[in-house]
């Protein structure tokens, strides 16, 4: 991965359950990413849905981005954050949880549910990482790697990656972001 290109990381419920224990969250955590950021001491601003959309649009219009990356960030803002956006139209089971903005990057957290007949639904968090500058690329990668090390478990197993296929199928061809069709955890 290179440049200021946004990327998507899939995070399993199993990993978040382990993170809950590792970071001592308690029983119910509605915004795991925000709680993790607090526990690791990152200086950030929490973003509500409208603030997240505005932040993505602001980054998409920034002068340091290429036109294609700027357009990608704007399309992500529409797809992920409008009530009638791409997820709503295709999955109907993806919810905006929270967003964090630092000086160098934005990470938005979405909860995706994959309903299954006669079996419990599967849940994944999607972390959309949007670097704001070249420092944000490395800083965001270091942060997510540090989180994984603190939790002491992989964020996604091969089986969990396979089970997330319905999300990838629904979004493939409709949304172009690095990590949509590729498990990026090993390359971080």
pLDDT for the residue 82: 54
pLDDT for the residue 163: 93
Domain positions in the chain: 7-181
Average pLDDT, 10 consecutive residues per value, the chain (188 residues): 78 94 86 94 92 81 58 61 47 77 93 84 90 91 96 96 88 77 92
pLDDT for the residue 167: 83
Rg (CA), the chain: 16
pLDDT for the residue 71: 62
CB 164 within 8 A of CB 133: no
CB 35 within 8 A of CB 25: yes
pLDDT for the residue 85: 44
Based on DSSP, count helices (H) and strands (E) in the chain, helices before strands: 8, 5
Distance CA 153, CA 148 (A): 6
Q: pTM of the prediction?
A: 0.86
Write down how long the chain is. Answer: 188
pLDDT for the residue 40: 94
What element of type H or E holds 119?
Answer: strand 119-131
Q: Which two tokens stand for residue 82?
A: 């409008």
pLDDT for the residue 152: 96
């Amino acid at each position: 991965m290179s440049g200021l290109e946004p990327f998507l990381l899939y995070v399993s419920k199993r990993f978040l359950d382990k993170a809950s224990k590792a970071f001592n969250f308690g029983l119910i955590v509605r915004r795991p990413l925000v709680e993790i950021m607090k526990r690791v001491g990152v200086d950030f601003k929490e973003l509500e849905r409208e603030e997240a959309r505005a932040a993505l649009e602001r980054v998409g219009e920034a002068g340091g981005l290429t036109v294609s990356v700027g357009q990608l960030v704007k399309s992500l803002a529409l797809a992920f954050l409008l009530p009638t956006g791409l997820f709503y139209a295709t999955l109907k089971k993806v919810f905006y949880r929270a967003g964090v903005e630092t000086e160098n990057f934005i990470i938005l957290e979405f909860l995706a549910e994959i309903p299954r007949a006669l079996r419990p639904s599967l849940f994944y968090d999607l972390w959309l990482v949007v670097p704001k500058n070249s420092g944000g690329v490395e800083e965001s990668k270091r942060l997510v790697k540090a989180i994984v090390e603190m939790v002491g478990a992989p964020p996604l197993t091969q089986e969990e990656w396979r089970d997330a296929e319905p999300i990838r199928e629904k979004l493939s061809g409709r949304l172009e972001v690095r990590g949509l069709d590729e498990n990026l955890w090993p390359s971080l």
